[in-house]
Amino acid sequence: MATDVMIQANGLTKRFGVVRALDKVNFEVKRGEVVGFLGPNGAGKSTTMRILTCFISPTNGSAKVNSHDVFDNPLEVRRSIGYLPQRAPLYTDMTVWEYLKFAAEIRGLDEGTFKKRLKKVVEVCGLAQSLGKDISTLSHGYRQRVGLGQALIHDPPILILDEPTSDLDPNEKAEVLRYIKEIGKDRTILLSTHNLAEVEEACARAIIVSKGRVVADGPLDQIRGTTGRVRYVVTIDEKRAEASNKPPSAVQAQEALERLNGVKSVRELPTDETAHKFELAGAQDSDLRAEIFRLMVAKGWTLLELRRDAQSLDVVFRDLTRGDEKLDRGAGWSAGDDEDEDEEDEVDQKSPAATDEEESDEDEEDDDEDEDEEEAADQKSKGKS
Among 48, 53, 130, 193, binds other proteins (CB under 8 A): 53
Angle at Cα 22 formed by Cα 16 and Cα 28, nearest 5°? Answer: 145
Q: Residue 65 pairs with which residues in a beta bridge?
A: 7, 68
Residues 319-338 that bind other proteins (CB under 8 A): 335-337
Residue 368 CA neighbour count, 13 Å, CB half: 6
Residues 96-115 that bind other proteins (CB under 8 A): 102-103, 105-108
Question: Closest distance between other proteins and the C-beta of residue 135, in Å?
Answer: 11
d(CA 239, CA 237): 6
Near other proteins by CB under 8 A, which window of 46-54, 198-206, 243-251, 261-269? 46-54
- The secondary structure element, H or E, covering residue 196 is helix 196-202
Task: Compute how many residues bind other proteins; rule: CB under 8 A.
Answer: 34
Near other proteins by CB under 8 A, which window of 74-82, 207-215, 236-244, 345-353? 74-82
d(CA 207, CA 192): 9
d(CA 66, CA 129): 35
Closest to other proteins by CB, 102 or 179: 102
Rounded to 5 degrees, what are φ and ψ at 2? -60, -35
> How many residues are present in the chain?
385
Near other proteins by CB under 8 A, which window of 79-87, 174-182, 204-212, 270-278? 79-87
Question: Closest distance between other proteins and the C-beta of residue 170, in Å?
Answer: 26
Of the candidates 247, 234, 49, 277, the residue with the CA atom closest to the CA atom of residue 158: 49
Residues 105-164 that bind other proteins (CB under 8 A): 105-108, 147, 150
Question: Closest distance between other proteins and the C-beta of residue 352, in Å?
Answer: 23
Amino acid at 271: T
Angle formed by the axes of helices 289-299 and 250-258, to 10°?
130
| SS3 category, 203 | coil
Among 7, 8, 16, 173, binds other proteins (CB under 8 A): 16
Q: Residue 209 pairs with which residues in a beta bridge?
A: 214
Q: What is the DSSP letter of 212?
A: T
Near other proteins by CB under 8 A, which window of 18-26, 89-97, 283-291, 305-313? 89-97
DSSP string, 319-336: HHTTTHHHHHHHH---SH
Closest to other proteins by CB, 140 or 264: 140
Among 9, 12, 54, 121, binds other proteins (CB under 8 A): 54
**Binding to other proteins by residue 347, rule CB under 8 A?**
no
Closest to other proteins by CB, 40 or 156: 156
Among 5, 19, 56, 260, binds other proteins (CB under 8 A): 56
Residues 267-306 that bind other proteins (CB under 8 A): none
Near other proteins by CB under 8 A, which window of 49-57, 259-267, 305-313, 363-371? 49-57
Question: Closest distance between other proteins and the C-beta of residue 18, in Å?
Answer: 13
Closest to other proteins by CB, 2 or 75: 75
Closest to other proteins by CB, 111 or 182: 111
d(CA 331, CA 336): 15
Question: Closest distance between other proteins and the C-beta of residue 117, in Å?
Answer: 15
| SS3 category, 57 | coil
Which residues lie below 8 Å from residue 68, measured CB to CB, with a gap of 6+? 76, 77, 80
Of the candidates 287, 294, 293, the residue with the CA atom closest to the CA atom of residue 308: 287
Closest to other proteins by CB, 52 or 207: 52
| SS3 category, 144 | helix
Strands 213-219 and 5-16: unpaired
Closest to other proteins by CB, 147 or 248: 147
Among 68, 78, 143, 299, binds other proteins (CB under 8 A): 78
8 Å CB contact between 13 and 59: yes
Residues forming the site for other proteins (CB under 8 A): 16, 50, 53-57, 75-76, 78-79, 81, 83, 85-91, 93-94, 102-103, 105-108, 147, 150, 335-337, 340
